[in-house]
Structure 1
């Protein structure tokens, strides 16, 4: 038998960390981040509509002088007595870690081109870094990430670290993976623990037996799977078999695993009075057209997967079906029976075959409901979607504006406006949290179960004008695995393009998995404690699942820990497949060795998800205290068990836990948990974003990138994200007269201070003063100036960095508060 595969770990003395500047400690009380902080003057509301909006195509008539320098001054004085830390592996004393600098160092460490080799490297880079993965028999960090890559050998040692043992899975991070063909035979797996064949399994007795890497059980190799082994004990065909050579692969399954049908996609449009008045029906029709036929409006140029069947329905106080009869003519059928609607047959069509009729429908749709009532039978729409797609599953994309006001699914306004945790009794606070953050409408909870059971994913694009009870209203989208995007106080000129990009991006998923079943397996001595969101009707590249792990015994430091994530699913073309992801971690009985191989991004994600799950049960103040207490326990354990004589007043921060300090503080101040005044809908939406985000998205969402735009005039050779300096998210890092680009992965915020030089406004925004700039600006105008070109290039590279074609921009101006 060959020697078992070992996780690669290097435990030599760590090099001294980077030297940080003498600045004030991290303070995420940033007045300019889109999702928190002090007031910024961002006007809302107003009239006007335009998909490009604002000054997207504005050009100045005369070029401005190139490379003009803009003078600034410190906005706030910097503190001189910054707290000091002592890092493991170094006797040097350093200030509190600076996360932007950590990100730059992590990106530069990966080299050019940035590569991560899964069997040679150990800890994955920080979440907000770009790199390519070379699969060497272990799944890359884009598929699986563990909170510890040196797992404690015992539950006692794990408890001493105070760190969670968890794994983050994103099974469909990439659509194209190697496929192992088992369409005629049963996929080989362990007879005891049912783990599927993977590269870490070892073959013995010339290939007639294999040893399970999870439970060490010796299995007999099936006759149809037998192959000779070489002198090292490795099968001679291992390179041609994905299940023996790569960590992530698909298995084509035999008919015994069931059969599926081709993907069907239902589009639903709210045609109530508010939706028509805002121009949303027109924007929705254009978004659907672009998804079906592309920008050129040509059959076959859309972003939907081939052979996808589509249908369109409208709803206000009744359901309106649009169906093509046998002769190809369009019929409009209205059903007023909200309790038991009847879905007409042959509702779904091939969009390429019905190009003319579908184009005519989308052209006329905005004019079909000029006098529609301002009611919404959203609950009935959910029943129609279930009946239309049935047990075969599929996807629904719903554009909704009006508060659900008709049964079934009628909602009442539980929140009168802004929600601030009350300061009276704990019982009252607990009751208010339970009422606002716990789904109480049984219609929506029951429909969510049915959608998950049938394999239906529900994407909700909501445009509320006020409180809309997203806790109930968006629960089906959350529970079914769909997307939940919110555009509050919608203004077409500002938000139309952002919605269309989001809508097309959701429809353009390269792989949509329906009728899914998820299962985690791990090594002897461990077991899966809980899988967060275990039953999703639909999975795609945006689906992320957290699994927490507990001990049911002790681990042998001579053996590795293995975790396998397997998803049984139906492909968009109707076949049944199994997506398998595998990860390996070492085992140690030394405290310091554990901390040297911790993924702080997964630790933050685990704490965040476990905290959002308690929003309906505990007051927000108690949740914030719990986060602080958890971080205190982690660093207290590091100090107590470090075995180093440390002077008082020094904070001991293991190198791998450096990002944990600013990220945890930012988590407390995000809209979901912030002590500031937020509407409950905003808190609910923020919590659901956190639950769906990857570790990279969560890192950027909590601690955004901040760039001084006024310094981009001096860029010589183009924008390079690997070297371009970023600012800390603190007031003392900003300057009066400055202009800053803030990016949280979802949108850009262009913060302009009150004393910004007019030359900067003219060169960047094409106006003589800020008062002349449209408050509904959604992207920078195209101007013939160095700073304009560099800033637009920076925006494009940041959007590409997060894998998006375009991100909206919002203008924020500094508010001068009375002193």
Structure 2
């Protein structure tokens, strides 16, 4: 890009060219104030400079200063009459009540798409003009917004740089941005990763799905350095993020993997790679050359034959040559035994605490109502129920009977099954007895006063039932295990919280659970945990069960079913787990082109060998991270990475899901930076930070994240900017990585890593479980929450548009956006906060909460009422869409937070606004300053 001529400005001002907006913004050097309008008339500007549009260019919303209200304006917010008809709820302006509102920017839609509300061809705009959409204004216009920013112009602009792309291919472009003073637009986190630009002829198919969709598999780099030294020079990590079993919604039907049902599975004889769109056919199509090892293989005759029609088939129409993600129905040679039936063994805590909290009643009712949703197409599914307190309670469920018989075992040191049959039973044959048992189980233990927990023996009993075939143990516990093998002690010590010794509380206190989990993995038994204790649960220790058996952990601190919100959350998450299709007795192997090697693995599985991951069950939407190494120079123009998951489906079929990804190689470090995927990098670093916090200290994990970010910035400055190794007043990075610092700041401020003496070890340990299992579309909002303004959202938000409910535009995560009269939603996928300003007008409180005034509102866990007014319906629609729009089994609680309410709840909600300074954690501006100091003071050659 050619340099832009500098406008003439008065002393103290500086102009900086914005590459995205293609215009200047103006920075006051002393105060750091940034604005789009010139401070004075500019002499001979390069182009006409228009006033700052709403939210900045492209609808980007900038942080505003704290607003001070005049007396008359405050009265308008309080609902009293005003001389200005557009100033208050009592006198709403004509139309939809948003006459003074600035034009909103693009609104994010599912799949990362955007549209701008209010355009003539926008279907939502037509709906917004209907009479029922006319809303009162809960605010009185907006002030001009200002953004605190940096003071330096970009020193070096790589706007258009040829990267040695192959002939006929558009060259890569690397845009450098200055992080200091750069506005944050959260919607950019929804954007697709950098484009994968393969050389011409790399793929034999023109199908747009011939390369892996990032929701299944994504790499931290979409252009791979040819040498390890070049990768090390960039300081960027190289890893794969896998979600081989992602759930699909209606709009994702085109991403569903096609099924190859003719049992013709073509693989390389040497490296065992599955045929894919990146192989080449030679010898007139009679042989194919492997894209990984280069071996020439024969093409089987049946590959070109339609077995159903008994006639020749079109080779080029085969799914495995057109789709990156396919699923094969495996023939008998892929089986060591007949496909196992789905087996569910329910371990239910029936101690005094479990019964009194309502957990037993909620769980048994949910299981009863979910029996029809269990995978049972071929009527082979088996079920068992074991209740435990200080003893074990087995239940005999004879087929055809309507009654069950309870068998009690008191020997906890040598667990045995009281009878060989009728405990693990066929779901269809024993359905009547099972229905009766689940219907009365809670009443059977209603007067139980036992306070111990034989959790370990119950696990052993469940294992004895499930191990002959494999299956799932679904364990519900309301107490710390206290009896028999696996008994634990309450080791929570508030004096250790926030100290260098805190990591000891996050490490297992007993080896029983890891040893037992490995034994389960060998027998294809998976464990899912539901922890509902009101006290210490030692999540750090017991979560080892799901970690090594590919299960999931669910945590409900202080669960009490008398609060409907608690009961709904447990019921929703348990029923979702039971209804989801699963892959059983699975193994995952990742293959890569010659010169690449898998080095480390992160996620819930057991590493059986150097490249084989064992998963007794494959849950939906669980993520795995695999670090890669470049062992030798990559001479080929592109590399291929292929993930294969061999598993038994819920329908009893042995299947192989194959995900193939091709990535170009490069000798140019500029192309390495321009191809980096900030979302994948953040996902990998979250896994590595948790691992570091367990093996060392939490402080070491935060330092590792900080060091990695400063290393990347320092290497970029040295290799890609004119400043080189000298000091610079700016902080430069490629545009595709500009949100990586805010993501890593969110990770460092997350409850799993944040420095605090107020976070119980159970909460930290559960956060670690989520940080290492959530797929990117759930992990990113978990560390970078979403923040919406509801009281002044555009009138079409909360209504049904072309892609479902239209969401408000997200705001930067800073409390500067909170207004005293406002209503805001803050959510991270696990928790939702509805923030209500202290000066909220009575009509807003009435419309949303059905209460006369703000003083009547109570903070805490809540369910919004559904009222007969449009604004309430829109707010409820936004909350419902927030819960539903991500692929997740979780049901986030909603907390109402009053601005002047309980301090702990306020601080919890405000901790989600990660751009602010809190306790000992820096603000985003301070974080950038720390990074800049490190970059200027270090050596990154």
Band of TM-score, shorter chain: 0.7 to 0.9
Question: Superposition pairs for residues 486-501 of structure 1, below 5 Å?
Answer: 486-492=555-561, 493=563, 494-501=565-572
Name the counterpart of 2:238: 165
Task: Assess, with a 3 A threshold, how the Cα gap between structure 1 residues 347 and 723 changes in structure 2: closer, same or farther.
Answer: closer
Q: How does 1:184-263 map to 2 (within 5 A)?
A: 187-222=265-300, 225=303, 237-257=314-334, 258-259=336-337, 260-263=339-342
Is the aligned partner of 1:673 residue 2:749? no
Contact 1:289 1:362 in 2 (8 A): yes
TM-aligned CA deviation for residue 256 of structure 1: 2.5
Pairing 1:284-683 to 2, within 5 Å after superposition: 284-293=363-372, 307=379, 308-326=381-399, 328=401, 329-343=403-417, 344=419, 345-369=421-445, 370-417=447-494, 419-422=496-499, 429=500, 432-433=502-503, 435-492=504-561, 493=563, 494-510=565-581, 512-533=582-603, 534-556=613-635, 559-644=637-722, 648-677=728-757, 678-683=759-764
Larger Rg: 2
Distance 1:66 1:189, change over 3 A: closer
Residue aligning to 1:71: 139
Preserved contact between residue 270 and residue 315 of structure 1 (Cα < 8 Å): yes
Name the SS of the counterpart of 2:614 in structure 1. coil
SS in 2 for 1:735: coil
SS at match of 1:740: strand
Taking the aligned partners of 2:316 and 2:387, their CA distance within structure 1 comes to 52
Deviation of 1:527 after TM superposition, in Å, equals: 1.0
Match of 1:765 in 2: 849
Q: 1:698 — aligned with what?
A: 779
> Which segment is superposed worse, 381-390 or 352-361?
352-361
Q: Residue 567 and residue 318 in structure 1: after superposition, are their counterparts in 2 closer, same or farther (change >3 A)?
A: same
Of 896, 916, 922, which aligns to 1:811?
Answer: 896
Counterpart mapping for 1:139-158 below 5 A: 139-158=212-231
Quote the Cα distance in structure 2 between the aligned partners of 1:358 and 1:501: 21
List runs of 5+ in structure 1 lacking aligned partners. 1-12, 26-63, 111-115, 122-132, 229-234, 294-300, 423-428
Query: 2:694 aligns to what SS in structure 1?
Result: coil
In structure 2, the CA distance between the partners of 1:137 and 1:747, relative to structure 1 (3 Å rule), is same
Whether the 8 Å contact between 2:796 and 2:806 is mirrored in structure 1 is no
Q: Does the 8 A contact of 1:453 with 1:515 survive in 2?
A: no
Alignment equivalent of 2:812, drawn from 691, 703, 728:
728
Question: How big is the shift at 1:523?
Answer: 0.8
2:824 pairs with 740, 744, 750, which one?
A: 740
| Contact 2:196 2:663 survives alignment (8 Å) | no
TM-score scaled by structure 1? 0.82
Q: What SS does structure 2 have at the residue aligned with 1:663?
A: helix
Superposed displacement of residue 277, structure 1: 0.8
- Where in structure 2 are there 5+ consecutive unaligned residues? 1-17, 23-56, 66-131, 160-174, 201-205, 249-255, 307-311, 604-612, 907-941
The whole-number CA distance in structure 2 between the counterparts of 1:464 and 1:414 is 15
Give 1:22 deviation, angstroms.
5.4
Quick one: distance in 1 between partners of 2:797 and 2:652? 53
Pick closer, same or farther for the CA change 1:466–1:118 going to 2, 3 Å.
farther
1:90-169 aligned within 5 A: 95-103=181-189, 106=191, 136-169=209-242
Contact 1:317 1:373 in 2 (8 A): yes
Query: Does residue 281 of the first structure (1) align with residue 367 of the second (2)?
Result: no
Per-residue CA deviations over 1:638-687 (Å, capped at 9, x if unaligned) read 12111446993222121110120110000000011001231111111101
Tell me, yes or no, if structure 1 residue 270 matches structure 2 residue 349.
Answer: yes
TM-fit CA distance, 1:80:
3.6
Distance 1:643-1:358 versus aligned 2 partners, 3 A rule: same
Instruction: Specify the SS of the correspondent of 1:585.
Output: strand
Q: Deviations over 1:426-450 (max 9, x none)?
A: xxx2x542x3222231211111101
Give the direction of change, closer, same or farther, for the CA distance of 1:304–1:376 in structure 2 (3 Å limit): farther
Change (3 A) 1:77 1:334: farther
1:373 deviates by: 0.2
Out of 774, 778, 791, the residue aligned to residue 875 of structure 2 is: 791
- The separation in 2 between residues aligned to 1:555 and 1:352, in whole angstroms, is 56
Structure 1 residue 336: deviation in Å? 1.1
Distance (whole Å) between structure 2 residues aligned to residue 193 and residue 101 of structure 1? 42
The offset of 1:160, in angstroms, is 1.4
Distance 2:405 2:551 in 1: 29
Alignment deviations for residues 170-212 of structure 1 (CA, whole Å, 9 cap, x no partner): 11115853222464x7x33222222122221112112332111
In the aligned structure 1, how far is the partner of 2:207 from the partner of 2:887?
19
Aligned residues: 725
SS in 1 for 2:692: coil
For residues 791-813 of structure 1, give each alpha carbon's deviation from its aligned partner in whole angstroms, at most 9, with x where no partner exists.
11112222231135964322222
SS in 1 for 2:570: helix
Task: Please say if residues 712 and 791 of structure 1, whose CA atoms lie closer than 8 Å, have aligned partners that are also in contact.
Answer: no
For 1:72 and 1:288, the matched residues in 2 are separated by 50
Please state whether the residue corresponding to 2:537 is helix, strand or coil. Answer: coil
Change (3 A) 1:602 1:103: closer
SS at match of 1:546: strand
Q: Secondary structure at the match of 1:712?
A: coil
Is the CA contact 1:267–1:398 (under 8 Å) kept in the aligned structure 2? yes
3-state SS of 2:328 partner? strand
* TM-score normalised according to structure 2 size: 0.72
RMSD across aligned positions (CA): 3.4
Q: Find the aligned partners of 1:174 and 1:791 in 2 and give their Cα distance.
A: 27
Q: CA deviation at 1:379?
A: 0.5
